[in-house]
Amino acid sequence: MKTDTIAAIATAVSDSGIGIIRVSGENAIEAVDGLYRSKGNKKRLSAVKSHTIHYGFIFDDEELLDEVMVAVMKAPNTYTREDTVEIDCHGGILVINRILETLLKHGCRLAEPGEFTKRAFLNGRIDLSEAEAVMDIIHSKNEFALKSSINQLKGSVSDKVRSLREDILYEIAFIESALDDPEHISLDGFCERLEEKTLRISGELKKLTESADNGKMLKDGINTVIVGKPNAGKSSLLNVLVGEEKAIVTSIAGTTRDAIEEYIRLNGVGLNIIDTAGIRNTEDEIEKIGVDKARKYAANADLVIYVVDASCPLDENDEEIIRLISDKKLIVLLNKTDLEQVVTDEDIRNQFINMPDVSENDCRIICTSTKENIGMNAFEDAVKEMFFNGEFAVNDELIITNMRHKEALMEAYKSMEMVQESLKNHMPEDFYSIDLMSAYVALGRIIGEEVGDDLVNEIFGKFCMGK
């Protein structure tokens, strides 16, 4: 493990009121002492108390660089559990880089991406799931992703994983002890007790795994695709949702030739919205490319919004669209209801009646007018009901938002199923122990107790510089 002293800019490098440079390592205080002077040059940082802030100046030899505040934090009660100093300077690009360059001249090394948090992990202050939560907080796109990440940083994932591992480890130890000392430790009734416990643990693992799909959407946003025939009002819908004119809207059918992507927050939850070209049979080569893209985007969507021009009869293009999206979570917007309505709710349901993949829970039909801003509240409510049972609140229930965690939970679940299979087949106790250990190891990867250096480096390599 590296123990040298590292330094990096911890704030965005831009013209701003304040910039922060973070220094951590065995010689952090001494390194900053080499360029810091207090007012009147009376105080050395090496002599001050821990967790104190000091006013002074940063010099490069005899050249004054900036007026600063310096926070001194001594190990082990720091983010990295190493001596740490943070220099608060003015946020100009030139000055903050000059101070960093001067630190590098005084024995510091430029930190790698995520190296401060990596040191916090390696020094035992946080586990791997908590470290990943730090990155998730930084990249949170909405309120609910932020709350979930904060809960994970506080240990919600770690606590659950450690509890499950303790239960599994107890059974492994009991089996090994009984096999080593059968005269004093009896296995009578053990299989029944183990079966009950494995069923309970499997249930918890399954529940956590199943939360991951909603968790991913909570964190990254719902991949949403707007489809429909040309001139149905798809681009107008996008503009209403975004709140500005992002897409060109004309009365000419086929105006949208390529996909337009936008991220919006809908009552705090993100939608990654793609407005696509109108789907229809066309001889226009460029429009054909856009239509093909629309089909591909719809095939990979979490949610499809099918915009129907309710003032025009359904035709063969609508039939093709319905076949394309019949197995998706779907909201049908009967648009242009400010005009005389030709297509009704019943007409749409009749189109879907022969589509076995569509269920009542996966399809909502809403009358809208993007021109008059009618039906948007009903649309928002429909999204909540379809994905989050009408509630977006992050409560005490643990939601998995990290796909690496999901994979480990799935592996642990499969191992617990193998234990249950061995119990049904009355296999020797050694078989139980092997699969229990596999589940134990899989869960350990979530908190970083069963991972190699390559995975650790890969995870922290995704962090921003200075964190």
In a domain, 394, yes or no: no
Closest CA to 378 of 344, 334, 313, 347: 334
Q: How many residues does the chain have?
A: 467
- The answer on 237 and 197 residing in a single domain is no
Q: Alpha-carbon distance 191 to 198, whole Å?
A: 10
Q: Are residues 273 and 357 in the same domain?
A: yes
Q: Please tell me what DSSP assigns to residue 369.
A: B
Question: Same domain, yes or no, for 31 and 85?
Answer: yes
Tokens read off for 313: 């009869």
**Domain final residue pick, 126, 153, 168:** 126
263 and 376, same domain (yes or no): yes
d(CA 217, CA 362): 16
Same-domain check for residues 138 and 121: no
Does some domain include residue 1?
no
Q: What is the sign of the dihedral through the CA atoms of 3, 9, 11 and 12?
A: negative
Task: Convert the pLDDT of each residue in 406-425 to its tens digit.
Answer: 999 999 999 999 999 999 99
Q: Which domain holds residue 82?
A: 6-126
Are 203 and 346 in a shared domain?
A: no
Q: Which of 161, 199, 159, 191 is nearest to 174 (CA)?
A: 191
Establish if 369 belongs to a structural domain: yes
Is there a single domain that holds both residue 14 and residue 108?
Answer: yes
Of 104, 126, 148, the position where a domain reaches its end is 126
How many CB atoms are located within 10 Å of the residue 376 CB?
Answer: 17
pLDDT in tens, 285-329: 665 676 777 778 878 888 888 888 888 888 888 888 888 887 888
**Cα torsion through 262, 314, 281, 356, rounded to 10:** 80
Instruction: Specify the 3-state DSSP secondary structure of 106.
Output: coil
pLDDT in tens, the chain (467 residues): 567 999 999 998 888 889 999 999 999 999 999 999 998 777 889 899 999 999 999 999 999 999 999 999 999 999 999 999 999 999 889 999 999 999 999 999 999 999 999 999 999 999 999 999 998 888 887 777 888 888 898 999 999 999 999 999 999 998 888 887 777 777 788 889 999 999 999 999 999 998 887 787 777 888 888 888 888 888 888 888 877 665 444 444 444 445 688 888 876 678 888 887 767 665 556 656 767 777 788 788 888 888 888 888 888 888 888 888 878 888 988 888 888 888 888 888 887 776 655 554 467 888 888 888 888 888 888 887 777 665 545 556 788 888 999 999 999 999 999 999 999 998 888 889 999 999 999 999 999 987 777 778 888 887 777 77
Same domain, 41 and 88: yes
Residue 439 maps to a domain: yes
Does 277 lie in the same domain as 379?
A: yes
Number of domains the chain is built from: 3
Q: Is residue 116 domain-shared with residue 161, that is, in the same domain?
A: no
One domain for residues 410 and 379 = no
3-state secondary structure of 310: coil
**Does one domain contain both 243 and 319?**
yes
